[in-house]
Amino acid sequence: MKHSGFTELRRRSVLKSLIWRIIGVVWTWIGAYIIILIVPPTWNNAAIIATLIVVYHHSTRMIMYYFYERIWTSISWGKYDSEQGSFQGMSMHDKLIWTIGSSVSIGVIFFLIIYVTPFIKNLTAS
C-alpha cells in the first residue's frame, strides 16, 4: 500500500481540531475578559470593545496556530509511516506531551470555573 504525501488517522485530525477549539475558546474568553476590564469607561461601547476583541483574537491566534502546528508536526502518533507501511503508535515522548497538555488544560478549566466565575458574579451583582 503506497501513499503519496502526508496521511494521518481521522482520530488524530479530530483530536487536533478539538484541542485547537478548546484552546481558542479559553484564549478568547481570557482576552475578552481582560479587555472588558481594562477599557476605560469613556470607551465603554460595544463597537470599540468588539473591535479590540477581534484584533486581539486574530493577531494572537495566528502566532499561536503556527506554534500549535509545529508541535503537532513533532508528534508522530497517527501519521502514516511509508517505510513500515503502517500508522505510527504513540511514543513515550508523545504520551508525556499528552499528559502535560491534558493536565494544564484541565487545570485552566478548573481555575476558570472555581476562581474566575465567582469573581464575575460579584462584579455583576454590584
CA distances from 122 to 15, 97, 114, 116, 117 (A): 36, 37, 13, 10, 9
Amino acid identity at 89: G
Instruction: Encode the chain (126 residues) as per-residue pLDDT tens digits.
Output: 444 456 888 888 888 888 899 888 888 988 888 888 888 888 778 888 999 999 999 899 889 999 999 988 888 778 877 777 777 777 787 778 778 877 887 888 788 778 776 776 676 665
Give the per-residue pLDDT at 126.
Answer: 59
Q: What's the pTM?
A: 0.63
Please report how many Cα atoms fall inside a 13 Å half-sphere around the Cα of residue 56, on the Cβ side: 17
Amino acid identity at 97: I
Given a contact cutoff of 8 angstroms between Cβ atoms, the answer to whether 10 and 87 are in contact is: no
